[in-house]
Amino acid sequence: MISETIPDEVLGTILPIIVYWVYSGMYCLLDLLVGNKYRLHSKEEEDEKNVVPKGVVIKGVLIQQFLQAMVAITCYYMVNINDGAYIVEKKTNSLINLIRQFISAMVVLDTVQYFMHRCMHQNKFLYKHIHSQHHQLIVPYAFGALYNHPLEGLFVDTFSGALAFLVSGMSARASIFFYTFATIKGVDDHCGICLPGNIFHVIFKNNTAYHDIHHQFYGNKYNFSQPFFVMWDKLLGTYMPYSVEKRTEGGLEVRPDGNYKSI
């Protein structure tokens, strides 16, 4: 097996990057096959509203993935430093312990990202000079999930992921699955496509439509939570309810639903 020849630390570093491009590529292919049928925004809206070329987005994502790889290598080294760097973890964790580690990592990731993400919006300087880069994609698409300013990529996304790994106490092998899962979830949240039967939409309230609200001008101060739960938005009054409806001209549309207090 590949895991027997490639150290877990290496797989934990490179596999999420590979999965990011493969999974987002699947959505690009799906988009070509079904057109606007399951899109939250039409292709015409995407071309009209987004203010950054896709070539620039790809370059920005690659820069962030390079930074993530450097931080991942550092974290693995820190964990293994007493036993020698890059030693493959051979012990098997119990299923209960793995579930505990995953849940704790998810909570840490969500907590750090919520407060830092919200801060990026409320601080005018941080939003203008850093976070606004991500919001150049008013109509999100799959491979733009990690399109951020390099400083945001380093101090928000990468830092929260590293902290989740260290706090949860998961092994390098467990982290392969966690980071790959988090990567798939992040891509799915930005894909802009509500495909029937999508397991992420069934399990998580924080999904493609939920995050699409945040990328629209009317939802810019709402739905900060990412990538798993919505608890912080609901607890702190930044949750915007919504409904997904069919467009008369085809495709889908997310609309604010119910009464909410502007903040």
Note the pTM of the prediction, 2 decimals. Answer: 0.89
Tens digit of each residue's pLDDT (9 = 90 or more) over 56-78: 999 999 999 998 898 888 877 77
Residue-range domain boundaries for the chain? 8-82+93-256
Residues of the chain where predicted confidence (pLDDT) is lower than 70: 1-4, 80-93, 258-263
| pLDDT at residue 88, rounded to an integer | 39
User: Over the chain, what HEC string results?
Assistant: CHHHHCCHHHHHHHHHHHHHHHHHHHHHHHHHHHCCCCECCCHHHHHHHCCCCHHHHHHHHHHHHHHHHHHHHHHHHHHHCCCCCCCCCCCCCCHHHHHHHHHHHHHHHHHHHHHHHHHHHHCHHHHHHCHHHHHHCCCCCHHHCCCCCHHHHHHHHHHHHHHHHHHHCCCHHHHHHHHHHHHHHHHHHHCCECCCCCHHHHHCCCCHHHHHHHHCHHHCCCCCCCCCCCHHHHHCCCCCCEEEEECCCCCEEEEECCCCCCC
| pLDDT at residue 87, rounded to an integer | 38
| pLDDT at residue 155, rounded to an integer | 85
| pLDDT at residue 93, rounded to an integer | 58
246 φ, ψ to 5°?
-80, 140
